[in-house]
Chain A
Amino acid sequence: MKKQPGYPKTVIFLILLIGFLVGCPFFLPTYWTFILGEILIMALFSMSFNLLLGYSGLLSFGQAGFFGVGAYSTALLIIKGWQSLSLILLVGIFTAALAAVIIGFLCVRRDEIYFAMITLGFGMMLFTIAHNWIELTGGSDGLPLASLPTLRIPGLELSLFDPRNMYLLILAVFLAGIFLLWRLVRSPFGLILTAVRENKERLAFVGADVRLVRLAAFTIAGGLAGLSGTLFCLFNSMATPDFMHWSYSAKPILMTILGGSGVFLGPAFGAVIFFLLEQVITNITDNWMIFLGAILIPVVIFFPQGILGTMVKYFDRGQESDRQ
């Protein structure tokens, strides 16, 4: 068993981190508030994806499909005139989870490359629907939003067109989302997920329904991907088919591997690294992809546990040798 770091230290660290994140828009320039908002959305997306990759050992290449379902249901509801933000967020989760339970029902019976390919296929089917059902989705132009619902907290009405309010909404949803994920992976269900990843034959012999466990994980990951899609639609004031393309599904994979799939916060860390690198590199040159690839190659070959994962492992070892 790995030793848990002392609770008080972790709690203090978390409170400081959350305090810092809440404080950010009040001292950061607006541009960086935007970037940080996008980082949080992608971090939530990646962490939900990691419920599949890191905890269940399933490489899904179609997560962007659910992200897009969340985004499109949000755009459609707002265009229809829905005003309640909490209802919109709930519908975003629900429609994506519904899509995930249907698609997942067919996908979870496959493993490894076949799972990756079948999720890729279904993800691209969703993309094709978004791209070609022009009457509903606006085709390749997508659905731009002219208005956004207002954020209503008792006593306050905040416009989401103010980047600061938008950021705080994203942060609140992000924290709720990862709190849920945290509780989930620490629960008996999380243990069974890990067991499915480690040895599904043995688990099946002791009577667990492997498919059902996987389907549950797939649905939750899909629902949370939909929630991040909902946030992204509000953030961008639009939904476009690009959100659902397979190259978009590669993003959470990249971020997760960059940060480390074996650590709870690894994907979020990977999202931060991804965006910081993008900012720094695109300031120098337009060719950001070649750099991303060049950074990814050594990470994949030499640091399969990702950047945060490698750091945590190094730190743990250091602590243990201190104790000896």
Chain B
Amino acid sequence: MESLVTNLLNGLSWGMLLFLISVGLTTIFGVLGILNFAHGSFFMLGAYLCMQVMHVVPSFWIGILIGPLAVALLGIVIEKLLLRKVYGRDITFQLLLTFAILLVLDDAVRIIWGPGYHVVDAPKILAGTIPLFAHSYPVYRIFLVIIGPLIGIALWSFFHFTRWGKIIRAAAVNREMAEGVGIRVPLLFTAVFAFGTWLAAFGGALAAPHQSVAPSMGESIIIESFIVVVIGGMGSFPGAFAGALLLGLLESFGTVFAGRAQMALPYILLALVLLIRPRGFFGREA
């Protein structure tokens, strides 16, 4: 029972972080048509910048506010200077360009902050553990499990009820039509990329007290969010939600029923979905 609850909470909290970065990735793909390899690097930068802000102002809340915004600004620069040049080009070049950006960002982080691990303390009210089924469980992880769905609902409301959210969804469904009804597409592209980048960085900042901050944190999460986006259906918001939860739970429960093979489960899931339903759970027919 207690391992069930522990695994459930682990899976949910990890799934929520995965969701934050996948929803940005899938939105960028849906609107810009680019599968962004550097997305995990923005996640990592979010964590580092949150930490850096906390060195100046020792408050996690200010760190998580300012850090991701700084990353979003960087996203705007990258979209305007680099990504613009490869819209509509062959996917090989798009993937490689964003891969090159990943190389630059990851190495820049190593130069600035060093290759080692850093620890970011959770804010005081979320520090420590609480007993749960005779087990002590970190409060911060429970905070993630609670705040995750709230962020999910907030994002869903944003996409469904606000003007910008509707515009983004419209552009993701049919870019030409969106252009036709007078949406300023270049501006939209920049805004969507900045928003996706911010989501990744926000996820990174949220993850900072949950795991250690290290240059490798982007590289490990990017493949998992690729899996989430592909199995959920590329460009699909509910797909990212379902995919992230599924992958989070699969990974936490995988150790119980699959033992050492657990590491392969996400890839097996990816291959199965691509073979049986290539468009993903919520994907549209192309």
**A residues near B, CB below 8 A?**
53, 59, 106, 110, 112-114, 116-118, 120-122, 124-125, 128-129, 131-132, 246-247, 250, 253-254, 257, 261, 287-290, 292-294, 296-297, 300-301, 304
Query: Once the chains are docked, how many angstroms separate the CA of A114 from the CA of B227?
Result: 11
B69 at the interface (CB under 8 A from A): no
Interface status of B55 (Cβ within 8 A of chain A): no
Do residues B260 and A290 form an inter-chain contact, with CB atoms below 8 A? no
**Assembly CA distance A287 to B82 (angstroms):** 22
Q: Per a CB cutoff under 8 Å, which of A112, A290, A301 touches B91?
A: A112
Contact check, A113 vs B274: say whether CB atoms are below 8 A apart.
Answer: no
CA of A25 to CA of B97 in the docked complex: distance in angstroms?
37
Q: Do A120 and B274 touch (CB < 8 A)?
A: no
What is the CB-to-nearest-CB distance from A212 to chain B, in angstroms, rounded to a whole number? Answer: 18
> Does B151 sit within 8 A of A, measured CB to CB?
no
- The reply to whether A124 and B223 form a contact with Cβ atoms under 8 Å apart is yes
A300 and B263: CB pair below 8 A? Answer: no
- Give the distance to chain B from A11, nearest Cβ to Cβ, in Å: 33
Q: Which residue of B lies closest to A293 (CB)?
A: B103
Please determine whether B261 and A132 come into contact, CB atoms closer than 8 angstroms: yes
Closest to A301 in B: B85
| Cβ < 8 Å to A, chain B residues 215-273 | 219, 223, 226-227, 230, 234, 260-261, 263-264, 267-268, 270-271
Per the bound structure, the CA–CA distance linking A10 and B101 in Å amounts to 39
Q: Say which one of B6-14, B107-115, B128-136, B199-207 lies at the interface with A.
A: B107-115
B267 touches A125 (CB 8 A): yes
What are 6 A-B residue pairs whose CB atoms fall within 8 Å in the complex? Answer: A59-B91, A121-B227, A124-B223, A247-B219, A293-B107, A297-B104
Given the complex, which residues of B lie within 8 Å of A125, measured CB to CB? 264, 267-268, 271
Q: Is the CB of A253 within 8 A of B96?
A: yes
Q: How far is the CA of A116 from the CA of B89 in the complex (A)?
A: 16
Whether B278 is near chain A, meaning CB under 8 Å from some CB there, is yes
Would you call B99 an interface residue if the criterion is a C-beta within 8 Å of the partner chain's C-beta atoms? Answer: yes
Are B92 and A257 touching (Cβ within 8 A)?
A: yes
Contact A128 B263 (CB under 8 A): yes
B111 and A304 contacting across the interface, CB-CB below 8 Å: no
B153 interface residue per 8 A CB criterion = no
Quick check: is B95 within 8 A (CB to CB) of the other chain? yes
B275 part of interface (Cβ distance < 8 Å): yes
Q: Does B119 contact A (CB under 8 A)?
A: no
Q: Which of B57-104 contact A (CB under 8 A)?
A: 82, 85-86, 89-93, 95-97, 99-104
* From B35, B106, B107, B223, residue with most partner A Cβ within 10 Å: B107
Apart from A293-B101, A300-B96: 18 A-B pairs, beta carbons within 8 A: A53-B92, A59-B95, A114-B278, A118-B274, A121-B268, A121-B274, A122-B267, A122-B271, A253-B96, A257-B92, A261-B92, A287-B110, A288-B107, A290-B104, A290-B107, A292-B103, A300-B93, A301-B85
The reply to whether B234 and A300 contact each other, CB–CB distance below 8 Å, is: no
Do A300 and B100 touch (CB < 8 A)? yes
Give how many A-B residue pairs fall within 8 Å (CB-CB): 108
CB < 8 Å neighbour of A132 from B91, B223, B263, B270: B263
Separation of A117 and B234 alpha carbons in the complex (Å): 12
A120 proximity list for chain B (CB < 8 A)? 223, 226, 270
Distance (whole angstroms) from the CB of A308 to the closest CB of chain B = 16
B267, A128: Cβ atoms closer than 8 Å: yes
How many whole Å from A304's CB to the nearest CB in chain B?
6
Measured CA separation A290–B95 after assembly (Å): 17
Please determine whether B103 and A290 come into contact, CB atoms closer than 8 angstroms. Answer: yes
Nearest-neighbor residue (CB-CB) of A296 within chain B:
B100
A residues less than 8 Å from B234 (CB atoms): 113
Cross-chain contact B101 with A297 (CB below 8 angstroms): yes
Chain B residues closer than 8 Å to A113, beta-carbon distance: 35, 91, 234
Distance A106 CA – B276 CA, assembled complex (angstroms)? 11
When C-beta atoms are compared, the residue in chain A nearest to B269 turns out to be: A121
Closest chain B residue to A304, Cβ basis: B93
- Contact between B104 and A132 (Cβ–Cβ < 8 Å)? no
A129 touches B264 (CB 8 A): yes
Most buried by A among B102, B263, B271, B278: B271
* Bound CA–CA A117/B223 (angstroms): 10
- Closest CB in chain B relative to A200 CB, distance in Å: 15
Provide the residues of chain A in CB contact with B268, threshold 8 Å.
Answer: 121, 125
Residue of A nearest to B261 (CB): A132
Cα(A113)–Cα(B34), bound, Å? 10
**Minimal beta-carbon separation of B266 from chain A (angstroms):** 8
Q: Does the CB pair A250–B99 fall under 8 Å?
A: yes
- Specify which chain B residues have a CB less than 8 angstroms from the CB of A116 in the assembled complex: 91, 95
Cα separation A118 to B273 with both chains bound (whole Å): 10
Residue of A nearest to B106 (CB): A289
Cβ contact within 8 Å between A131 and B107? no
Q: Are A300 and B86 in contact (CB under 8 A)?
A: yes
Q: Are A246 and B35 in contact (CB under 8 A)?
A: no
Query: Complex: how many Å from CA A116 to CA B271?
Result: 11
